[in-house]
Amino acid sequence: MSKTPFLTKEKAKEIIKSYPTPFHIYDEKGIRENAQKLNEAFSWNKGYKEYFAVKATPNPFLINILRDYGCGCDCSSMTELMLSKAIGATGDDIMFSSNDTPPDEFKYCNELGGIINLDDITHIEAVEKACGCLPKKMSCRYNPGGVFQISNSIMDNPGDAKYGMTHEQIFKAFEIMKSKGVEEFGIHSFLCSNTVTNDYYPLLAKMLFKLAVELKNKLKVNIAFINLSGGVGIPYTPDGQPNDIMKIGDGVRRAYEEILTPAGMGDVAIYTEMGRFMMGPYGALVTTAINEKHTHKEYIGVDACAANLMRPAIYGAYHHITVLGKENAACDHTYDITGSLCENCDKFAIDRNLPEIEMGDILYIHDTGAHGHSMGYNYNGKLRSAELLLKEDGSVELIRRAETPKDYFATLDCFDIYNKIISE
Ligand SMILES: *Cc1c(COP(=O)(O)O)cnc(C)c1O
């Protein structure tokens, strides 16, 4: 297997004439085809809906593409709620899956008519206080504790995760909520991140479906939806096998027919809140080699840094790199590819075998479409890059300009020093 960029060197050079590197660029065609396929994979479920995890790629132009496929917005903060509202996603198009939530965010979500997904039992009271009463439709986040293992390589530790309620708490929560007038209930759980397997959703679904039957039988509550949340991964390495969303959808269907349908719950809607799977492969960070350094190791310095893409620095995440125009050249050089932050973790790749890199070469860093630009920050006074959209017709549109020093200093604009800095 290999990874193919959605840009050629020629196209990149043409784009760079208008938009200098570094920039993130997104592939409209890929986003659309994937969203279409996701809907097909879950077409067996009448109420199916994907709530795109806004935090992964909070760009209104990209989310608007997903809106064409019926996607709503999964929000986790005030500003994400504001963004959703601005693109017309309100009411049932909002899933508010936050934690450690400030009361004014519950209030705002409720004003927009969004579905509040409670992270904790104590939040029942918080919502009541913030909103006056409980909304008619609500959801609770479940955390089974322990460890969750899918295969030998994929394991996560829900028992150590701050999210969600225990088994006992979710029963108690539903009972209280029912007594306070909630009529429609949802169950949500997120146990494992970036799972590159077709078994994660089906396994999670089984667990949640059983829980739903138990809750319904014991408390006589109306379970309207089950939210499988995010966690469906993408292969970041070139030898990784992509998930097959059709198999995943079918696995969930089988669990549904085995557990929910016989329990008379064949009308429960399935929701998902994917971020990475929806956008990850359809974004790339494009950057230019600007320095080379030969010391104890061979370094190539590029004009992007961890402020543009933080995943390698914070999790040691692998992002594949293609040197544009050298797709077929032998990878007979070994480099650390670095940014300029005063942090040694600011490396996009360590000991990576690549073709010989010359100054001015354009590097294409793959799979930055989710948790890429959005994790950007301003350390070392670095400015966040532009975001571009490669449209289906081959044209390129600016969908977020690059930050300028004025943006960086903007929070000083109520002080005299601001004018001094900006005017110089
Ligand atoms: C981050 C997050 C998601 C999206 O996760 P992916 O791994 O990007 O699919 C979905 N739901 C919640 C509550 C999240 O915090």
> What phi, psi does 312 have (nearest 5°)?
-60, -40
pLDDT of residue 1: 57
Where do the DSSP E strands lie in 281-416?
283-294, 298-302, 321-323, 333-338, 347-354, 362-365, 386-390, 396-400
Q: How far is CA 295 from the centre of its chain?
A: 38
Mean of the pLDDT values across residues 79-108?
Answer: 98
Percentages helix, strand, coil for the chain, rounded to the nearest 5?
35, 25, 40
Does ligand 1 have an atom closer than 6 angstroms to the CB of 234?
Answer: no
Is 161 a residue whose pLDDT tops 80? Answer: yes
Portion of the chain with pLDDT greater than 70, in percent: 100
Taking the centre of ligand 1 as the mean of its atom positions, its distance from the CA of residue 234, in whole angstroms, is 13
Summarize pLDDT for 279-290 with one digit per residue, the tens.
999 999 999 999
For residue 314, give every residue at least 6 positions away whose Cβ sits within 8 Å of its Cβ, in sequence order, or none.
345
Does ligand 1 have an atom closer than 6 angstroms to the CB of 304?
Answer: no
* Lowest mean pLDDT segment, chosen from 147-161, 313-327, 364-378: 147-161
pTM of the model: 0.97
Radius of gyration of the chain (CA): 23
Does ligand 1 have an atom closer than 6 angstroms to the CB of 375?
Answer: no
Taking the centre of ligand 1 as the mean of its atom positions, its distance from the CA of residue 277, in whole angstroms, is 10
Does ligand 1 have an atom closer than 6 angstroms to the CB of 400?
Answer: no
Helix or strand run (H / E) with residue 27 = strand 23-27
Mean of the pLDDT values across residues 392-400?
Answer: 98
Is 312 a residue whose pLDDT tops 60? Answer: yes
Structural tokens at position 250: 């079918």
Does ligand 1 have an atom closer than 6 angstroms to the CB of 311?
Answer: no
Taking the centre of ligand 1 as the mean of its atom positions, its distance from the CA of residue 358, in whole angstroms, is 38
Q: How far is CA 385 from the centre of its chain?
A: 19
Is 155 a residue whose pLDDT tops 90? Answer: no
Locate the ligand 1 atom nearest the alpha carbon of residue 276 and give its number: 8
